[in-house]
Amino acid sequence: MYGKNPLRPPEKGDGSTLDVQHVFATIQGEGPYAGVPAVFIRLGGCNLACTFCDTEFESFRKMELEGIVARVKELVGSARLIVITGGEPLRQPIAPLCEALLEAGFKVQIETNGTLWRELPEAVEIVCSPKNTGSGYFPVRADLLSRINAFKFIISAEQSGYGDVSDVGQGGIPVYVQPMDEYDEAKNEANLALAMQLSQRHGYRLSLQLHKIIGVE
């Protein structure tokens, strides 16, 4: 959306319907499960507007919980990983969806910006990608921090605030560094070089957006 999306606040509700952008089968391209076949549930709307965000999440539609789970089962094939992303998935009451997917035998991973929290089943795995305000990273909520399985920091050699990994409370939680895709070959090469330097210097894990390399959504 490149920062052009409206800022959407958290929604109330019982989770029986959700704003859904897209449900699709793919390969997880980032973070701890990079390379693993997965079904993505991309939810609509976000509470932030990042200028580098290249994801469409504003042409969403309402879907009933049963319909979302049914669509996942149609697409899943041999995949057992379900990734709930956005937008910002914790903007909506997703606990019932997580529970239904876990009960169906799937592994569930959430990708969040770290500014919102809802109670989720313990088995849900959470990847947090903190975002920068321009004067520092948004603080990661304490109630979320104890549940995070991995951090993913976006790295840019030019974008202000994204040239390094800040302390947001990660402690011993694994940290992935991912070069920002700025759709410019020279900038992307510099971003990759910087991400590699940070990885080698601090022991962070390099994440390379595998789905873009292999040409899938």
Catalytic annotation present for 40:
yes
DSSP β-ladder status, 81-85 and 37-43: parallel
* Active-site annotation holder among 50, 57, 106, 151: 50
Q: 52-61 b/e with 16+ CB inside 10 Å = b?
A: bbebebbebe
Catalytic annotation present for 111:
yes
CA 110/CA 142 separation, integer angstroms = 17
Catalytic annotation present for 55:
yes
Catalytic annotation present for 98:
no
Catalytic annotation present for 46:
yes
* Active-site annotation holder among 19, 88, 111, 125: 111
Catalytic annotation present for 52:
no
* Active-site annotation holder among 40, 57, 60, 106: 40
* Active-site annotation holder among 19, 53, 115, 153: 53
Half-sphere exposure of 103 (CA within 13 A, CB side): 8
* Active-site annotation holder among 19, 46, 88, 115: 46
Residue 48 corresponds to which tokens in the numbers above?
């932030």
Task: State the angle between helix axes of 95-103 and 65-75 in degrees (0 to 180), rounded to the nearest 10.
Answer: 40
Q: Which long-range contacts (CB under 8 A, 24 or more apart) does 139-143 make?
A: 139/168, 140/114, 140/115, 140/168, 140/169, 141/114, 141/115, 141/116, 141/117, 142/169, 143/117
With tokens 């990042």, the residue in question is 50
Q: Is 114 helix (H, G, I), strand (E, B) or coil?
A: coil
Q: What angle do CA 114, 209, 24 make, to 5 degrees?
A: 80
Residues ≥6 apart with Cβ < 8 Å to 122 = none
Q: Which residues are catalytic?
A: 40, 46, 50, 53-55, 111, 211
